[in-house]
Amino acid sequence: MSMPIIIIFSFALLAFLLGISARRGKDMDIQQFAVGNRGFGALLVFLLVAGEVYTTFTFLGGSGWAYSKGAAAFYVPAYVVLAYVLSYWLAPRIWRFAKDRGAVSQPDYFAIRYQSKAFGIIVAIVGCMALIPYITIQLKGLGIIVSEASYGVIPPALASFIGALIVMTYVIISGIHSSAWTAIIKDFLILVVAIFMGLYIPFHYYGGIQPMFEQIQAVAPEKLVLPEQGLGISWFISTVLVNAIGFYLLPQNFSVVLTANGEKSLRKNAITLPLYTLLLLFIFFIGYSAILQIPGLQEADGDLSLLRLSIQTFDPWFVGIIGAAGLLTALVPASVMIISGSVGLTKSVYMAIVPHASEKQQLVVSRVFILIMTASAFLFSIIGGNALAILNIMSYTLIVQLAPALVFGFFPNSRVNKYGAAAGILTGVLIVLWATLFDIQIADFIPSVPHAVNDINVGALALVVNIAVTLGVSFVTNLAASRGEATEAGRY
Amino acid sequence: MKYIKLLLLVPFVGMLAPLPLVNRIEPYILGMPFLLFWISLWMVLSSVILYILYKLDADREGEGAE
């Protein structure tokens, strides 16, 4: 066996052992399994939230976007930072309500908030539509990273399979605790690898960061600013807003909020997390370096720019370390996604069928859902082609449709009810699906519309309609209900 | 003091509203093209603003306890 393979497998084994031993000393019930008994301090919550940002998608896609699309890639740190700013207000409110009412997942949070099991199921379905492609991308990314870092010896599908098996096993055993423990080594490794590579590569090839950008400016200045149309300023602003609002509504991030041991931990994290986002700059430096060093990667192959450049630059043992870091950036987020999805399905769908299920039964069913989710994500990673990419684009535009229901839920005086909230979500989701699947744009209806309007993120437009429908339907149903009460009162 | 949370809007407006003006390559600052520097600057400023808010909230909670 070659050096990189030994290193990658050592880290895979380490993650596996940490993951399964994370359960030690805990009586596993559904609270413990899903949200670590709401006992995670600021540091663990920090690592888990940060872990959801540094996924394989960031690792490959962040550098890939910088390589192929240039400055449009800056939307990632922009929305992540603003999501943290928003979390200062949002996260403690979610946490407090969930703790008081014993919610352990996003669907049961909403079901309790709107006193409707059906509403919980709607939320669970929207959540899974956002989650499954996300998990699949992690497994697929894992396959690509391990395969490239092993110099092609390990086929991607085999790597994905082993990765899926590892994460499934330790998640079934230890639940969210496994994510927390593996997140510790993951963040350490990615921190070291990203900073080292992000500095070494520009200095090695160009003599510095600024000289690198200046050489790119001489050849391809369009990579350093946002274009006039397409991925321009209006696209940037609307996408950043949609993703910033959607970030904590993604089921995995919602779950992480619930693991905190108090509101203070969440507020403290909101302060430090924006600084951690600076790490993404180093990923961009690598992607930009690749523009002149390994030109000619087309479209999706741009995502390979980081790995290809690493192989060209470093000794095999360090390529192995990069591969190991890549492996962990897949396992940690995937584990949280799988847990939040499976607990959400148990709490909404299963509990609707078996309302009085015991804690033990819920735990068993959650584990069955883990098996199903991991297996289907693995299958999608093998057979799902284009459909997957489209779904992944929609992750944020779909999940952000839950925002009105969440925010109005904070204010009972808003008189938004379950009918309004559900109608709003369904309308928003249908608009996003329709516009994305059929590639519908505003210009299709009004050909003379300026680019700045046409390029607005579809999730933002759907959100506006969603809010209007939420308020409108709530108003009408409240009116009907009070009339109903009035007539009933009149009868007696 | 009730409206202190409105500070949270500052990073949103501050980062995004001036984009038409800051969408440029020069001047380079800290080795970065200006647009990238601008986004990075707001990562740091966001952190600072949240820290100020955290301190103000802590003071207020302290007063409330008395």
- Condensed to tens digits (0 to 9), the pLDDT of residues B29-54 reads 999 999 999 999 999 999 999 999 99
| C-beta atoms of B36 and A81 within 8 A | no
| C-beta atoms of B54 and A77 within 8 A | no
What angle, rounded to 10 degrees, do the helices at A316-345 and A156-174 form?
50
- Mean per-residue pLDDT, A206-227: 92
pLDDT at B2: 64
Distance CA A36, CA A127 (A): 21
Distance CA A47, CA A332 (A): 10
- Mean per-residue pLDDT, A260-286: 90
For chain A, give every domain's residue range: 3-384
Q: What angle do CA A124, A128, A130 make, to 5 degrees?
A: 120
Q: Which residue has the tokens 């590579």?
A: A197
- Give the pLDDT band of residue A384 (cuts 50, 70, 90): low
Q: Which of A124, A145, A127, A146 is nearest to A135 (CA)?
A: A127
**Higher per-residue pLDDT: A396 or A54:** A396
Q: Which residues in chain B touch residue A278, judged by CB atoms under 8 angstroms apart?
A: 40, 43-44
| C-beta atoms of B5 and A281 within 8 A | no
pLDDT per position as a tens digit, A432-474: 988 888 877 777 787 878 878 888 888 899 999 999 999 999 9
Q: Is the pLDDT of residue A488 over 70?
A: no
**Higher per-residue pLDDT: A307 or A52:** A307
**Higher per-residue pLDDT: A136 or A301:** A136
A147 — phi, psi (to 5°)?
-65, -45
Map residue A264 onto helix, strand or coil.
Answer: helix
Identify how many contiguous H helices and E strands chain B contains and give both numbers. 3, 0
**Higher per-residue pLDDT: A454 or A485:** A454
**Higher per-residue pLDDT: A451 or A291:** A291
Q: Which residues in chain A touch residue B28, judged by CB atoms under 8 angstroms apart?
A: 210, 213-214
What angle, rounded to 10 degrees, do the helices at A117-149 and A106-113 form?
160
What is the pTM for the complete model shown? Answer: 0.91
Which residue of chain A has the CA closest to B41?
A: A278
pLDDT at A387: 60
| C-beta atoms of A88 and B50 within 8 A | yes
Task: Write down the mean pLDDT value for chain A.
Answer: 88
Q: Is the pLDDT of residue B66 over 50?
A: no
Q: Is the pLDDT of residue A38 over 50?
A: yes
Task: Identify the CATH assignment for A3-384 out of 3.40.50.2300, 1.50.10.20, 1.20.1730.10, 3.30.450.20.
Answer: 1.20.1730.10
| C-beta atoms of B47 and A271 within 8 A | yes
Map residue B32 onto helix, strand or coil.
Answer: strand
Q: Which residues in chain A touch residue B23, judged by CB atoms under 8 angstroms apart?
A: 71, 225-226, 233
Q: Give CA separation, A35 vs A25, A253, A254, A355, in Å.
A: 16, 11, 10, 21
Whether the CB of A89 is below 8 Å from some CB of chain B: the reply is yes
Interface of A with B in 454-483 (CB under 8 A): none
pLDDT at B64: 46
What's the gap in Å between the CA of A381 and the closest CA on chain B?
34
pLDDT at A120: 93
| C-beta atoms of A89 and B42 within 8 A | no
- Give the pLDDT band of residue A489 (cuts 50, 70, 90): low
pLDDT per position as a tens digit, A111-156: 999 999 999 999 999 999 889 888 888 898 888 889 988 888 889 8
pLDDT at A388: 58
Residue A50: burial class (beta carbons within 10 Å; 0-12, 13-18, 19+):
buried
Whether the CB of B58 is below 8 Å from some CB of chain A: the reply is no
DSSP classification of residue A208: S
A85 → closest Cβ in B32, B40, B46: B46
- Give the pLDDT band of residue A391 (cuts 50, 70, 90): low
